[in-house]
Amino acid sequence: MKTAHLVAPLFSLFIFSCTSQPEYAQPELGVRSVEILNIDGYQFKDLNKNDSLDPYEDWRLSTDERVENLLSQMTLEEKAGFMLISSIVMNGGEAFGRGPGGGEITSDLSEKESLMEVNFFTRKPLPAPMLSMSGTTKGIKERQLRHFILRTNASAKMTAEWSNKLQEVSESTRLGIPSIVASNPRNHVASDGALGLGFGNTVFSTWPGELGIAAMRDLELTREFAEIAAKEWVSVGLRKGYQYMADLATEPRWGRNSGTFGEDADLASDIIREITLGFQGEQLGPHSVALTTKHFPGGGPQLDGQDPHFDWGKEQHYPGNNFEYHLKPFKAAIDAGTSAIMPYYAKPIGTEFEEVAFAYNKGVITDVLRTKLGFQGIINSDTGPIFMMPWGVEEMDMHERYTKALDAGVDIFSGTADPTILLETIKSGSVSEERINASVRRLLHEKFELGIFENPYVDAAAADSIAGNKDFQEKADVALRKSIVLLRNDASLLPLKAKTKVYVASHNDNGRTKEPRKVLIPEVNNWDIEFVENVDDADVALLWLIPNKGGLFRSTGAPIDIQLSKNNINVEDVNELKKKVPTIVAISFNSPWVIKEIDDKNAQTIIATFGTTFDALLDVATGKFKPTGKMPITVPTSREAVENNQSDVPGYMEPEGYALFKFGDGLSY
């Protein structure tokens, strides 16, 4: 019996037998090409097309039993392909980017290959060419790939249709093993939408940036966010999240602070726990998005704030002897059941551990993560440590790097779509097949628990009504407002009084505009104030500063300066405006900017934002929503304070005189 549709349960809930055999709930089966087996009044998918029920096809059995049976049927080639997770795009999408790559984005499968000979981050030649993205059909059928990171931003319906086509190809293979599709965060107002960090605007509900989630101080709403986002992701076929960052924002110059939940380990732990339970549930199931918590053992303490995507940022240190502090959020993620953990690229210096990147670091992965913290899930390398960021093992060849990373404990390698070198490493005998089996077991276990062996397909027609629906966005709108922090209101300009004439502008210099500021006037005035286009007509000015380093991946290795003037803010213009009219300065703290250049006696009113909307900011400024947010990070007083900071120590623990605004600061009306 073949069908091209979902197969519904034979009976409403339970199928009863006249014998003493156990009663089971028939799951909904999703099929496109395989036969349905009818056995003992139940239905099963004949995934390996042998006209009989294999244990791995029998949903009545335990996950462990199913895993062992399928593992015994897999070839070395299938196992090697199974241990890679690579980028994938929809037809018309780019391999590395969000825009069109040769045509309009459609729901069709992309068969485009992407071969990298130059490091995407450093622009230096690679030691060997790396296939970063395979043609979809070839990747599944010939390279045995079953793990993908979707890099395309499209409509919900289109993404769901694409996902179904991907699963249809997977179902047609020898063993019918379904694919799992991962993504980076898609639900936040992001300061940097670069590859691997975020997506900017999507069709999903829009919530504050991660620092804004921390600024809310609302764990109930945080859990609700994760539950809502999980529904949206599942509706389009995204079942794995390359998220969230359990790193701590203890080094103010680090370019990824905006993706963290702040500098305080206890607050970050509470948030990570709620988000993990919200996305995954108490245990993985058909409702779940399996999370990959990153970047173990905490990427915050980067030397001088440089990032280990680059060789000039490969060193991570602990001048305050605060290694254990950075483990706390990972412990919370493990306790909540996170499915996977990702080690970062950096190598530790000045510690008890070997000075090799964490993906190669057995002392960190096996001794700390596995043994000390008891993590039993998947260890997922970050993108490209074998080919692009082999810090500390640069002299090893590719086979030796795979061997060392596997010995350290890595289960799945991100960034490459070609299993050839990994397969050669396995066949050489330098890695035992039992070691490979241990990783494949963990990867299979996740898939079985998610229920995608029974039904990997989604209802594309329903996806548009689920993703970003009105009820979800109403919840997110509350969060956007709760994330805003009032830091100073010395002149009592806030809340803005009714009928006040307000000049609103933003500083958001992306390097392409010559105008120092852009006037902002809403299309619909929902506030009892008057918006004016000319500052000379204003009673009050509201100036929203959105500093911009140019993006993480534009680093050159030069010293990092987090003063406003060094991050595309025209401080002269800001100070001139403040002389003309009483000014409210709102600052997007996607980093803990040093604001000394504008923080004089005239900067009496300051608001902090962390990825929010214009409407939310106006609601807070006018008092329609009273500010409740608290700072998730500490703002340093000066560049000198930043340069003297201990990068593994949160700002509120730094010596007296370090902080202009401390973690936890926040006023209301």
Task: Kindly list the catalytic residues.
Answer: 382
Residues 6+ apart with CB under 8 A from 217: 267, 628, 629, 630
Both structure tokens of 135: 């043609």
Beta bridge pairs of residue 15: 24
* Closest residue by Cα to residue 205 from 227, 184, 182: 227
* Closest residue by Cα to residue 331 from 262, 276, 257: 276
Question: Does 495 sit behind a cis peptide bond, omega within 30 degrees of 0 on the bond before it?
Answer: yes
* Closest residue by Cα to residue 80 from 328, 535, 397, 418: 418
DSSP string, 471-491: HHHHHHHHHHHHT-EEEEETT
Q: Rounded to whole angstroms, how far apart are CA atoms 376 and 294?
A: 15
Q: Rounded to whole angstroms, how far apart are CA atoms 620 and 494?
A: 9
Q: Rounded to whole angstroms, how far apart are CA atoms 632 and 300?
A: 14
645 and 651 Cβ atoms separated by less than 8 Å = yes
Place of tokens 């960021």: 389
3 and 36 Cβ atoms separated by less than 8 Å = yes
Task: Give all strands (DSSP E) within 317-389, no chain letters.
Answer: 340-343, 347-348, 378-383
Q: Where are the alpha helices (DSSP H) in 89-241?
A: 136-141, 156-171, 210-216, 219-236
* Closest residue by Cα to residue 267 from 655, 589, 661, 650: 650
423 and 80 Cβ atoms separated by less than 8 Å = yes
Q: Where are the alpha helices (DSSP H) in 152-284?
A: 156-171, 210-216, 219-236, 265-280
Residues 6+ apart with CB under 8 A from 262: 211, 214, 215, 248, 249, 268, 632, 633, 663
